Amino acid sequence: MPRTVRTIVENWPVSEVIDAEQAIYPRLEEAFDALKWWLARVPESGQIIDDCNWLYVQAGDRRVNISPLVALYTFNHQEV
């Protein structure tokens, strides 16, 4: 059975930080897109930290100057 693909709803400050940090981490947008792709499909892969909040840590790669990303999120059947 195919997985549900949820809509990612970003908080606007997150987008601003990603845009601002691109000068330091040129591939940050790609890494962030990968994180969103993953969480839209498998949000339960994170760690639940309380009644409704989840935490997911995506490793970075220092060799190619990609920062690790940490996402704090909630999700339902339609949105992350």
Please give the pLDDT value at position 66: 86
Spatial CB neighbours of 45, under 8 Å, sequence gap ≥ 6: 38, 39, 56
With beta carbons less than 8 A apart as the criterion, state whether 53 and 47 touch: no
Measured CA to CA, the distance from residue 64 to residue 56 in angstroms comes to 21
Residue 7 DSSP label? B
Q: What is the pLDDT of residues 23-49, one digit of tens each?
A: 898 899 999 999 999 999 999 999 999
Please give the pLDDT value at position 79: 97
Report whether pLDDT(22) > 70. yes
Please give the pLDDT value at position 76: 96
Report whether pLDDT(1) > 80. no
Question: What φ, ψ does residue 31 adopt, rounded to 5°?
Answer: -65, -40
